[in-house]
Amino acid sequence: MKLIHAPTSPFVRKVMVVAIETGLAGTLEIEFNPASPLQRDPALTGANPLGKIPALVLEDGTTLYDSRVICEYLAATAGDTTLFPAPGPARWQALTQQALGDGLLDAAIANRYETVMRPAELRWPGWTQAQLAKVTGALDAIEEMAQTGLIGLTVHHIGLITLGCALGYLDFRYADLGWREGRPAAAQWFAAFDERPAMAATRPRERVA
C-alpha cells in the first residue's frame, strides 16, 4: 500500500497513528506530496481528484480517501475492533468525537490558509473570527468531555486519536492561541495521551528536503 503523505498534515498524522496502533505502519510505502489548495498536482489528483491528502493507494490500484475512510480500512484490514467499536453507543460516541476533531482541524486549516496564503490586502477578518469561533467551541466541548469522563485514558478509539491530533496541530501551527488556558482537564488529558508511542512517533514536523 502506498500512502500519499506530508508530515505536517494532521489528517496524515491520524492515519499514521492508526497504522502504528494496528501494526500496519511497516506495510505502507510513504510518498511525500506537498499538497496545496492553490495548485493541483497531477501526481496527487491522479489518485484523489480532490487533490487532498492523505490518499491510500491499494495493491490493486484502488485509492481510498479521506482520513476517515483510510483509518477504518486499516483497522478492518488488521482485524482491530477497538479503534472503531461495533455499532452501538460506544461507536456513535467515537465517531462523533472524530467529527469534532476533524471539524476543529477544518476550521483551523481554513483560517491558516486565510492568514498565510491569501494576500494581506484581501484577507477577511470576519472569516478569521468565524473559524476561530469554531475552534474555541470545539475546545470548550473537549474540556467538558474531559471533565465528565467522556474522554480519558482507559479506552482508545478513533475519536480520541482525532482529538489528540487536532490539539497537536494547534500546538504546531497556533502556538500563540493558548488553548490550554481555562481548560485544565483537556490539557491534562492531552499531556498524557500525546505520550502514547504512536502519538509521540508522529508529532508534526516540517519536512527537511
Q: Answer yes or no: is 139 within a domain.
A: yes
Whether residue 128 is found in the same domain as residue 186: yes
Whether residue 67 is found in the same domain as residue 111: no
Please count the structural domains in the chain: 2
pLDDT of residue 206 exceeding 80, the answer is: no
Whether residue 126 is found in the same domain as residue 55: no
178 Cβ neighbours under 8 A, 6+ residues apart: none
Domain boundary among 30, 51, 78: 78
Per residue in 26-65, pLDDT (tens digit) is 999 999 988 877 788 888 888 899 999 999 999 999 999 9
How far apart (Å, rounded) are the C-alpha atoms in residues 181 and 136?
A: 11
Domain boundary among 45, 78, 111: 78
The pTM of this model reads 0.94
Q: Answer yes or no: is 209 within a domain.
A: no
Whether residue 67 is found in the same domain as residue 96: no
Residue numbers of the domain that contains 95: 89-199
pLDDT of residue 149 exceeding 70, the answer is: yes
Whether residue 189 is found in the same domain as residue 110: yes
Long-range contacts (CB closer than 8 Å, 24 or more residues apart) made by 142-147: 142/100, 142/167, 142/183, 142/186, 143/182, 143/183, 143/185, 143/186, 145/97, 145/186, 146/183, 146/185, 146/186, 146/188, 146/189, 147/185
pLDDT of residue 208 exceeding 70, the answer is: no
Any idea what the CATH number is for the domain that residue 6 is in? 3.40.30.10
Whether residue 101 is found in the same domain as residue 188: yes
Whether residue 108 is found in the same domain as residue 187: yes
Residue with cell 492531552: 190
Identify the CA nearest to 163 among candidates 185, 144, 138.
138
78 Cβ neighbours under 8 A, 6+ residues apart: 22, 23, 24
Residue 54: asked if its preceding bond is cis (omega within 30°), the reply is yes
Q: Answer yes or no: is 42 within a domain.
A: yes
Whether residue 9 is found in the same domain as residue 74: yes
Whether residue 39 is found in the same domain as residue 104: no
How far apart (Å, rounded) are the C-alpha atoms in residues 76 and 121?
A: 48
The amino acid that residue 125 corresponds to is P
pLDDT of residue 16 exceeding 60, the answer is: yes
How far apart (Å, rounded) are the C-alpha atoms in residues 54 and 182?
A: 33
Whether residue 106 is found in the same domain as residue 166: yes
Whether residue 93 is found in the same domain as residue 195: yes
Identify the CA nearest to 115 among candidates 132, 98, 134, 99.
132
Parallel, antiparallel, or unpaired for β 29-32 and 2-5? parallel
Q: Answer yes or no: is 44 within a domain.
A: yes
Per-residue model confidence (pLDDT) at position 40 = 85
Whether residue 56 is found in the same domain as residue 118: no
